[in-house]
Amino acid sequence: MILNSFKYLLVAIFIGITSIKAQSQQPNIIIFFTDDQGFGDLGCYGAKGFETPNADNLASEGIRFTNFYVPATVCTPSRAGILTGRYPKRSGLHEAVLFPFSENGLPLQEYTMAELLKDAGYETWCVGKWHLGHKEEFMPNNQGFDDFFGVPYSNDMDNYYYARSDFQAPPLPLYRNKVLVEHGPNQEFLTTRYTEESIHKIKNRDPNKPFLLYLAHNMPHVPLHVSPKFKGKSTLGLYGDVIMELDWSIGEIVNTLKAEGIYDNTIFILTSDNGPDLGSAGPLRGKKAQTWEGGQRVPGIVVWPKKIPKNEECKEPLSTLDLFPTLARFAGAHIPDNLILDGKDVGALWLNPKTEKLKARPFFYYARNGGLEAVRYGKWKLHIKKSMGWDQIKLGDFELALYNLENDISELNNVAEKHPGLVKKLKSLINEHAI
């Protein structure tokens, strides 16, 4: 009897140790998500007028993607996409953005990345801008995040009067979990406060659990704000100062990971929610709110020192939709069998960027009004209509346009007439894409 009890105890201890060991092998995950930062707004992507040494060093530690996309041209739908691995239309958040008077948000039946990783044993933290519903039922604590510190929507909505709706927004609310802790915080210090909060969470984490940190900075969304220590630092003015402070934030978090001895087993993902408003899209055509490349192709850096090779540039097309299934793979998380995902597991590419090639697949571009305007397949991109970024008075009605993005990154040479068969094929992809 005593012997059997002892055997059961040994088995329980073994199972517990095995579980802890398995969790210790799971990588920590940080998604550093900026707001309206363009493809050309980092030094390693050709930025001028300011320096981003921490982002550039991060790129040298892993993979810098040059065909990295978000599934929307503006804030809310892009955030829905990164957290669900699904085109925003599936969650009904594909049109425009949510406002302080909006009654809806990310539906609770959506299975978020935070819920996925929490079910796999992760601590889950959201710091910064949420913008997926400010009503309590839609806030981060009800969407899989253990802790939240930040604001529920964009910083330009602070105390804003919406004349069409006759609605006066309140001062920008700052929350800690479900508790409103401050009205109209001084935005000069938001980047600093989010960084300090993130560092605090990392230092005070449960040592027996891996963590997800979703750090969604408000900047460089207008109105621009920067702390006094970075004011006047760049030769590009306030915008450059703001980017330099975001770069400082990257450095502070990386330094903390190293000091805690967990940098090597942390996946650090740096990207933006859409193209620039005030910043640079580099050689790309268009900007935020447009389905030209400048509106949806963004910086994309992925680092995992323990697994991913250093100093790689990868031209394979992928998007934030791919993060959900890829991170699930590396975290050992189970994706429900009935969950429809639009992203693909690209983990093999992350581990072997020199040799691994992705099978060609369509990527669809949804406009700010929710309409489907373009598709990319391989090196080809077909535009079928244009709601923004086209001057109809000067240029007339928009005509169907086909571009070879491999040798025409700026989308200047419409070759639709030369490739009627290809146009037909790409149009059929759009017609078959029914959500």
Q: What is the pLDDT of residues 204-219, one digit of tens each?
A: 999 999 999 999 999 9
Digit-coded pLDDT (tens) for 254-282: 999 999 999 999 999 999 999 999 999 99
Distance CA 107, CA 162 (A): 25
Give pLDDT, residue 153: 98
Give the dihedral sign, CA 338/339/343/345. Answer: negative
Considering the segment(s) 371-432 as one domain, its CATH architecture is 2-Layer Sandwich (3.30)
How far is it, in rounded angstroms, from Cα 68 to Cα 75? 17
pLDDT value at residue 24? 58
Per-residue pLDDT, 13 = 42
Chain position carrying tokens 């990345």: 113
Euclidean distance between CA atoms 355 and 352, whole angstroms: 6
Question: Of 390, 384, 397, 387, nearest to 367 (Cα)?
Answer: 387
Same fold, 27-351 and 371-432: no
Show the tokens assigned to 193.
């406060």
Provide the annotated active-site residues: 75, 131
Q: What is the CATH number of domain 27-351?
A: 3.40.720.10
Please say whether the beta carbons of 324 and 102 come within 8 A.
Answer: no
User: Which segments of the chain have a pLDDT < 50?
Assistant: 1-23
The structural domains of the chain, with segments of one domain joined by +, span: 27-351, 371-432
Q: How many residues does the chain have?
A: 435
